[in-house]
Chain A
Amino acid sequence: MITGAKVSVAIIAFGLLALLPFFLEAYGLGLMIGMLSYVALATAWSMFSGPTHYISLATVAFYGVGAYTVAVLNEGISFPVILLIAVLIGLVLSLAVGVATLRLAGVYFVIFSFGLAELVRQLITWYEVNVTGTLGRYIFLPLEPQDIYWLLLGAATLTLIIGWLVRRSRIGLALRVIGDDEVIAAHIGINLTRTKLLLFALSASLITLVGAIQAPRWVYIEPSIVFNPTVSFLTVIMALLGGPHRLFGPLFGVVPLFLLFEWLSANFPNHYSIILGALFIAIVFVLPNGVLEFLDRFRLRRAKT
């Protein structure tokens, strides 16, 4: 249910976040940029993977495509137009990938989605080396960190609004039915392929947008930087920790985990991946439905006794 109070809280929170760059140092702003990008990524990821239970590891494929589009187009075209082109490329790519993979059953989909990022990376590398003869590209755009922050805040907000609309719509219900039982879904009139494809493409386009907005932060881009599989894994862990079945679930996963990873990568750069993997396993086993659902159940149990 949506109430006036909730909307006011959301608007105030948005206003405060929008003012943040005026009070933050460069380091703090950098943290917030990272955090906002993961809020958008994890929310967009959950839009499709939450209800369907298709665990996609393709996040970085789209994210990287978004960033690479900016790297290729950054001269001569205005940034908003570049962003639009990036989103369109992400849309087309996700539709093509979706048509090919969404018929696959769960585990095959996971593997394929993981392979996709690698495939895209190899293709771009091959193209750059053999056709354009360069590997790295520079991005010179007149964008300050706070501009990127505001754009990401916009992207994260847009993602949450779209997520909210999807939930209330018929297609949101269709996705829930698909997640519960595909056989029922098909037999009550839901076009499985079309529904999944639509949401997959929507989710992927938003992910592409995030990658594109973040691109100017790197200044120098090459495939191994923007197609880093850690992005896919972090997105999944954060969304799962928070709970991908709720609109604000991913957000609650992003904040603590992002800060934790930030601290880990600063203090234990060599053991970072191992800790990441262990955490991944722990979350899936201990909190399969996310923190929010766990708290709800905990509250329910306390209320009963």
Chain B
Amino acid sequence: MTSFLELENVAKKFGGLTAVRDVSFTLSKGEIVGLLGPNGSGKTTLLNMISGANKVTSGKISLNGVSIDSLRPDQIVNKGVSRTFQLVRILPSMTVEENVICGLAFRKMPVWGAKAAIIAREKLEIVGLKDKASLPGHSLNYIDSKRLELARALAADPELLLLDEWLSGLTPEELEAGIELIRSIETTGISILIVEHIMSAIRALCPRCVVMNSGEIIADGSTGTVLQDDAVSAAYLGGAPCCMLTISLCSMTYILL
């Protein structure tokens, strides 16, 4: 397998805080890899650097052998990378279908007009939202918003899909269906980097996983082996109180907002 996505000594500093330090790993074409780690370990920041939302402080990121670390997000989309967001983002003033059409209209090979509507319906069918195509974006519930976000990401026709906790917050049945959905996307040949806290989902989906702690990779290998690693359990257990605190803080902020 040739390396498709390649990160070399990537680091990100926010002022004095080092969110990601010296991260190197590669992802092959068509591979699905889990990215794990306690809260604040730098997973989202890493995705942000790949998608161009954050610029790397140092290090290199390349896709298909071409450096992408100095590109803007819109240029990176055109290189074949699309993503979903940890805090779901939907275009609230547009309908569900228009949300997906937007994903089609500005990609590398843009589709526009009647043809876009047809493809948008196909994408909505894949994620199970076909019946809600004409609803306003802001009226969707949590799981449907996540589905829509995924449909929009797929509309960009990605070679690499970045999912940031796409499976979190689902009911057990929804989780089951979500895992199936991601698996079906993977079989179409799209490479997937999936950030997730839910171990069962990682076990079900990813033969390989990468674990981060305080901005560094502490394990990278086959999922079964990695999850038994002492350092990994220490990171998770050691991080537990902090993790609980973050979760409660997050949910409080969410409720307040």
Q: B187-226: which have CB < 8 Å to A? A: none
User: B101 contacts which chain A residues (CB < 8 A)?
Assistant: 173
In this complex, the member of A173, A184, A188, A192 whose beta carbon has the largest number of chain B beta carbons within 10 angstroms is A188
* Stretch in A83-91, A139-147, A174-182 touching the partner: A174-182
Q: Shortest distance in angstroms between A246's beta carbon and chain B's nearest beta carbon?
A: 13
> Considering only CB atoms, which chain A residue lies closest to B51 in the complex?
A187
Q: Is A6 an interface residue (CB 8 A)?
A: no
> Considering only CB atoms, which chain A residue lies closest to B108 in the complex?
A189
Answer whether A188 and B106 are a contact pair too, CB < 8 Å, given A170-B112, A183-B53, A183-B85: yes
* Chain A binding surface, main DSSP class: helix
Q: Is A186 an interface residue (CB 8 A)?
A: yes
Q: How large is the interface on A (under 10, 10 to 19, 20 to 34, 35 or more residues)?
A: 10 to 19
User: B52 contacts which chain A residues (CB < 8 A)?
Assistant: 186
Q: B71-127: which have CB < 8 Å to A? A: 72-74, 77-78, 82-83, 85, 89, 91-94, 101-103, 105-108, 110, 112
| Cβ 8 A contact of B110, one of A170, A183, A187 | A170
User: B51 contacts which chain A residues (CB < 8 A)?
Assistant: 187
User: B82 contacts which chain A residues (CB < 8 A)?
Assistant: 187-188
State the total of A-B contacts with C-beta under 8 angstroms: 65
Q: Shortest distance in angstroms between A219's beta carbon and chain B's nearest beta carbon?
A: 46
User: A180 contacts which chain B residues (CB < 8 A)?
Assistant: 91-94
User: A170 contacts which chain B residues (CB < 8 A)?
Assistant: 105-106, 110, 112
User: A190 contacts which chain B residues (CB < 8 A)?
Assistant: 74, 106
Q: Shortest distance in angstroms between B98's beta carbon and chain A's nearest beta carbon?
A: 8
Contacting pair B73 A176 (CB below 8 A): no
Q: Is B152 an interface residue (CB 8 A)?
A: yes
Q: Is B156 an interface residue (CB 8 A)?
A: yes
Q: Shortest distance in angstroms between A169's beta carbon and chain B's nearest beta carbon?
A: 9
Contacting pair A188 B72 (CB below 8 A): no
| Cβ 8 A contact of A187, one of B53, B94, B105, B112 | B53
User: A177 contacts which chain B residues (CB < 8 A)?
Assistant: 91, 94, 102
Answer whether A176 and B93 are a contact pair too, CB < 8 Å, given A183-B53, A187-B77, A192-B74: yes
Q: B37-54: which have CB < 8 Å to A? A: 51-53
> Considering only CB atoms, which chain A residue lies closest to B81 in the complex?
A187
> Considering only CB atoms, which chain A residue lies closest to B89 in the complex?
A184
Contacting pair B94 A188 (CB below 8 A): no
Q: A115-152: which have CB < 8 Å to B? A: none
Q: Shortest distance in angstroms between A168's beta carbon and chain B's nearest beta carbon?
A: 10
Contacting pair B112 A186 (CB below 8 A): no
In this complex, the member of B51, B73, B78, B82 whose beta carbon has the largest number of chain A beta carbons within 10 angstroms is B73
User: A174 contacts which chain B residues (CB < 8 A)?
Assistant: 105-106
A selection of 30 A-B contacts at a CB cut-off of 8 Å is A170-B105, A170-B110, A170-B112, A173-B101, A174-B105, A174-B106, A176-B93, A177-B94, A177-B102, A180-B94, A181-B92, A183-B89, A184-B102, A186-B52, A186-B53, A186-B72, A186-B73, A187-B51, A187-B53, A187-B74, A187-B82, A188-B74, A188-B82, A188-B105, A188-B106, A188-B155, A188-B156, A189-B77, A189-B108, A191-B74
Interface on A for B, CB 8 Å cutoff? Answer: 170, 173-174, 176-177, 179-181, 183-184, 186-192
* Closest 7 A/B residue pairs (Cβ): A189-B106, A186-B73, A189-B77, A180-B91, A189-B74, A190-B106, A191-B74
